[in-house]
């Protein structure tokens, strides 16, 4: 039976709808988001990167406060207190973080995503004494999957192999110079995200060095570090579409952050609490680096990653520490 023009029009419309649905699924990269491997004309190392990356359409979320999980042992509570300033970070209500597990160690505490297989945040209580030792950095064999996490919910070494991305510590190995076990535990993949070496080994390393100087000067600093999946286009109603393009690598599809954040909380010489926070785009930065240009408020970060990082702060103190960006500490 021949098709009349009306039927042809209906079929064309159905085909258009199917194409529109397919376009919402993850697709091969077109325009590179932050964290993407470098273009060949920009860096010679581009040849080192896999050319079959996938861009995921990740939903951009904005929410209100919720509750944290409970039921920790006394030893776990001690580790939380030693590493998390003003309480264990709490997820904000309605954020879709998926299945997560806490990893509670002497040197750091983190919440790990079983879906993304990267940490959502990592808290450290960095004391002066632990920075004054000489425990050497272990070799490449120290990198391992986290034995506290089940297979299928964790990153594996093969996920990074051949990807061109470094295994970027969130709690740096350089923050543990006295205890070998603590240093070794920073090399578990649960403490890492895929990171461009041009970022990891340069401006990000400079920020890590600066936080260590502050911990030495002040006696102790609490540091909270993690990945961000963010696109400023979502802040503008004329450009927002409700999604963020995110690269994934490896068989376990580890997401590559578009940004990384670091929050530092410490007491000054007068015993008053101070806080400073940084957000860096996941890319290379030209020298000279100006870390003051990457300072952001804690509230701004919390609203875009879905956590209240210091839930036990009194309202007045939270306003003082979190509401506005700090000036760069000396």
Cβ–Cβ < 8 Å for 260, 227: yes
* Per-residue pLDDT tens over the stretch 278-298: 999 999 999 999 999 999 999
Give the per-residue pLDDT at 85: 97
Q: Which residues contact 74 (CB under 8 A, 6 or more apart)?
A: none
Quick one: CA dihedral 205, 207, 213, 218, positive or negative?
negative
* Per-residue pLDDT tens over the stretch 55-74: 666 666 543 333 444 589 99
Give the per-residue pLDDT at 30: 53
Instruction: Determine the Cα–Cα distance for residues 299 and 259; give it in Å rounded to an integer.
Output: 16
Instruction: Determine the Cα–Cα distance for residues 64 and 303; give it in Å rounded to an integer.
Output: 8
Instruction: Determine the Cα–Cα distance for residues 196 and 283; give it in Å rounded to an integer.
Output: 7
Measured CA angle at 217 (ends 211, 219), to 5 deg: 95
* Per-residue pLDDT tens over the stretch 101-134: 999 999 999 999 999 999 999 999 999 999 999 9
* Per-residue pLDDT tens over the stretch 229-278: 999 999 999 999 999 999 999 999 999 999 999 999 999 999 999 999 99
End-to-end CA distance of the chain: 82
Instruction: Determine the Cα–Cα distance for residues 266 and 274; give it in Å rounded to an integer.
Output: 6
């Amino acid at each position: 039976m021949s098709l009349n023009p009306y039927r042809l029009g209906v079929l064309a419309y159905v085909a258009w709808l199917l194409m529109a649905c397919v376009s919402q699924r993850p697709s091969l990269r077109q325009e590179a988001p932050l964290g993407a491997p470098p273009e060949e004309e920009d860096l010679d190392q581009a040849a080192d990167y896999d050319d079959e990356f996938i861009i995921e359409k990740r939903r951009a979320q904005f929410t209100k406060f919720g509750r944290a999980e409970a039921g920790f042992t006394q030893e776990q509570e001690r580790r939380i207190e030693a590493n998390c300033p003003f309480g264990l970070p709490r997820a904000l209500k309605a954020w879709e973080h998926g299945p997560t597990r806490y990893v509670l160690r002497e040197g750091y505490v983190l919440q790990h995503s079983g879906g993304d297989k990267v940490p959502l945040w990592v808290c450290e209580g960095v004391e002066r004494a632990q920075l004054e030792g000489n425990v050497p950095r272990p070799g490449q064999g120290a990198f391992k999957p986290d034995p506290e996490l089940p297979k299928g919910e964790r990153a594996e070494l093969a996920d990074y192999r051949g990807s061109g991305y470094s295994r970027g510590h969130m709690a740096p190995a350089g923050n543990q110079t006295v205890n070998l076990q603590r240093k070794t535990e920073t090399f578990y993949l649960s403490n890492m995200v895929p990171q461009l070496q041009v970022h990891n080994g340069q401006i990000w390393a400079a920020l890590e060095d600066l936080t260590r100087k502050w911990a030495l000067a002040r006696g102790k600093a609490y540091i909270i570090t993690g990945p961000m999946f963010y696109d400023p286009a979502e802040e503008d109603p004329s450009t927002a579409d409700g999604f963020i393009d995110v690269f994934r690598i490896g068989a376990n599809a580890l997401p590559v952050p578009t940004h990384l954040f670091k929050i530092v909380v410490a007491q000054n010489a007068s015993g008053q609490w101070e806080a400073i926070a940084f957000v860096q785009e996941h890319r290379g930065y030209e020298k000279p680096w100006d870390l003051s240009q990457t300072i952001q408020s804690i509230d701004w970060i919390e609203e875009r990653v879905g956590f209240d990082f210091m839930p036990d702060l009194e309202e007045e103190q939270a306003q003082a520490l979190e509401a506005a960006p700090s000036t760069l500490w000396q």
